[in-house]
Amino acid sequence: MRLQRLLALALSLAVFLFLAWAPFPALAETKLPVVATFSILADFARQVGGDKVEVKELVGPNGDVHVYEPTPADAKNLGAAKLIVVNGLHLEGWMARLIAASGAKAPVVVATEGIIPRQGVIEGATGIDPHAWQSVANARIYIGNILAGLIAADPADADYFRARAKTYDTALDATEQEVRAAVAAIPPQRRKIITTHDAFGYFGAAYGFEFIAPVGFSTESEPSARDIARLIAQIRREHAPAVFLENISDPRLMQRIAKESGAKIGGELYSDSLSPPNGPAATYIDMMKHNIIALKKALAPNS
Ligand SMILES: [Zn+2]
């Protein structure tokens, strides 16, 4: 009897120890907390970081990073981050103040480091175009910078990060080939992107498109009536076949321009933000594929 009780006690102790111990393997593998300023950078960080990172984005799907207003939750996430990923090139004007307010001490990866910035003239003033991710060659530089940041923040997982970055780089290379093949199907005189704000300059330079937008590099500015009239005249003069909507911008401006110029609406392009997970541009690669398919459909004859 006494032995039975002892056995029962030992058994319940074993069950207790098992239950107490069981969650530990999961806890032992804590993920590196990473904060990225917007959805495209967050996707890059997830592609390289895989299971070893927990990536939070400040500006989510379909959000506008130019005019973002940070929340108290953002400051909290930044404070807990071990790595912060930003675009740079003056894209996130609100970020320096947010980092200071959050007391964040994590290293900051500037993902565009090493990219040759594109200059543009907007209303007579020269500015730097921040939309460097719209060229796949630049995206590969982003990945290199994010990889270096992740390795510095979590050296124990360096090999894992390197392997994932390599696989992703191969996928980016394939995407670039796909974009170039689609562009080749569009006659050169029809390679024009007309959309709301000036987000496709790097894309245009990389793949041979002329790019025209009534709004500048930032969505903050509003086009004047004269700017719009000039754009409509240009569309008519150059026989531009289509204008495009943007996922982050109010469609009404481009709808009006389409109506008054006679150009058709060529679909919606993803410029500064991914779609939600169930949308057509949930990752960077899906975004580039979606955009080039929309461009080809609107601009290439017989497609
Ligand atoms: Zn933009």
What is the number of other CB atoms lying within 10 angstroms of the CB of residue 270? 27
Residues with CB under 5 A from ligand 1 (ion): 199, 272
Q: How far is the CA of 229 from the centre of ligand 1 (A)?
A: 22
Strand partners, 154: none
Residue 1 CA, ligand 1 centroid: distance in Å: 78
Interval between CA 193 and ligand 1 midpoint (Å): 15
- CA–centroid distance, 22 to ligand 1, in Å, is 48
From CA 260, how far away is CA 244, in angstroms rounded?
Answer: 14
Q: How far is the CA of 245 from the centre of ligand 1 (A)?
A: 13
Distance 129 CA to ligand 1 centre (A): 9
pLDDT at residue 223, rounded to an integer: 83
pLDDT tens for each residue of the chain, 303 residues long: 566 776 676 666 665 555 555 555 545 579 999 999 999 999 999 999 999 999 999 999 999 999 999 999 999 999 999 999 999 999 999 999 999 999 999 999 999 999 999 987 555 567 899 999 999 999 999 999 999 999 999 999 999 999 999 999 999 999 999 999 999 999 999 999 998 888 999 999 999 999 888 777 777 778 888 888 988 998 998 888 999 999 988 899 899 999 999 999 999 999 999 999 999 999 999 999 999 999 999 999 876
Number of H helices, E strands in the chain: 11, 10
Handedness of CA 141, 144, 148, 154 (dihedral sign): positive
Specify the 3-state DSSP secondary structure of 35.
Answer: strand
Tell how far the Cα of 218 is from the centroid of ligand 1, in angstroms.
5
* CB distance 59 to 35 below 8 Å: no
142, 111 Cβ separation under 8 angstroms: yes
CB atoms within 10 A of CB 239: 11
Q: Are 257 and 236 in contact (CB under 8 A)?
A: no
CA of 66 to the centre of ligand 1 (A): 6
Q: Can you tell me the distance from the alpha carbon of 72 to that of 75, in angstroms, rounded to the nearest whole number? A: 5
Contact 258, 265 (CB under 8 A): yes
